[in-house]
Structure 1
Amino acid sequence: MKLRKMTSLTALTSFVFMLVTSIILYIAPQGRVAYWADWRLLGLDKTQWGDIHINMGILFLVSIGLHIYYNWKAILAYLKDKARRLKIWTPEFNVAFGLTAVVLAGTLATVPPFSWPLVFNAHLKDAAAVQYGEPPYGHAELSRLDQFARKTGLSLPEVLVALNDAGIRFDRDQDSLQAIARQNGRSPQAIYHIMQGAQASALPSGMPAEAPPGTGKKTLAELCLAYGLSEADVVRSLQGSGFQVSPELTLKEIGAKNGVSPIDIYDTIRQATATPGVKTP
């Protein structure tokens, strides 16, 4: 068995696996969506695909390192001029280095055509979020059942009744949503849909305590429409709190304009709607 040949073939096969996993992770939903909807491809979830990608990457690096070692003389030959003198900055190396530098700089500057794969990737992630749905808040699947019910404004006793009626097995209300989902062969999202059948003990405004993912991308007008709030009253309330606002701006833009985070804007609206000052239309 020739070690040099085996090293080259290992580098090739691990590269192929890295290529496949890179494509899959490129098109996979964002983590919060994938874990919430229990997204899988070929029976493997996103975490498993990521694990494969990491270990194949390590195998590739080790094998390519050995490949360089076994072919060091050939590589040095690439760096020699016509007089056979070692010269790092050969025309070929200059082109290779320049091409790499251009791709790196273009990616960091997010200019076309280097931004196109990134924009397309963002489009795929957004489309997946629409297709599979987003959790009520980040890493909701890791919350205990009692915590999840409280954060989503659901009555825990009625949630327990709804789950029992649906034949969902769980040991106690302190089990995580993810654990309950796995125990019953369902996604956390499916468990949540069953829970939504329970009578909600919603906040006065109907706004959950935790801002749902993607809230920062919503305009103030869209947020008011989603929760049945009076746009004029919300604007007046925010302005009364010293914020410069406009209904067509997103919460992220409003936050940036006022030097606060989108979550701060969301919380301000939620607190204001808990008082009689902001009414539903």
Structure 2
Amino acid sequence: MRKAIYCLAAAGTLGLSAGLPATALADSSAGTGYQTSLSPVPTNHVTGSGSATVSLSGDQATVTVDTTGLLAGVPHAMHIHVDGMGTCPTAAAATDLNGHTAISTTDGHPAYGMIGTSLTTSGDTSPNSGLAVDRFPTGSSFHYQRTLTVTDDVAGNIRDGKAVIVVHGIDYDGSGKFTNVLGASDLDPKLPQTATAPALCGALHAMPAGGAATGSGATQHRPDNAGLIAGGSFLLIAAGAGTWVLRRRPPTGADRS
């Protein structure tokens, strides 16, 4: 009798352990996935929006960015910013730019930090390519995805929740083009401020177990290991029920000994 109970107890333990690796796998996957909703930078007259995800494995980052509602027909520089407060600037960061109240890239540095990775479409991705306007996505709406190598500092900022995605380029005066309404860029005086001012911003955070859930167009995924977890739970329940039945059976002559 005791042997039968021990076997069923072992089966229950096996059922529970069958679910544990699946749960652990989900937690591990969540640790490598990061996401954010991209919101308009205040005071900069932006009506667009977007979302971004980063899948990080060692120094390899697969970055996906989707935007809509930006200025059409122009390139939009975008970067992973690091070593700041890991946040997006508020309206309080705005300064006087050529007689107008707006937030320049440097105005936002205390909040989101400096360029860590340039999200170019090809070639170099270092801060040196921060204004490589011929290698950034163009248009009011775009889908960007690229796997690239990031520095230890950038990877650490992503894992610590201190990395921020920033998309640049604004239509401050509603003219449908980059103009000098805000004066020259604080990053390169040969460019207008509107070409480099931040448009969309979002701080990266670890995804919940099971996949993305930004609420801004990212797809939520059902964990593939859900069946394994359910199977383990079923075995545990069945084993527990069997143990109860055996405990309730009247002892036989052999059991009395």
TM-score range, shorter-chain basis?
under 0.3
Greater RCO structure (CA 8 Å; 6+ sep): 2
Instruction: Say which structure is richer in strand.
Output: 2
Instruction: Say which structure is richer in helix.
Output: 1
With normalisation by structure 2, the TM-score equals 0.24
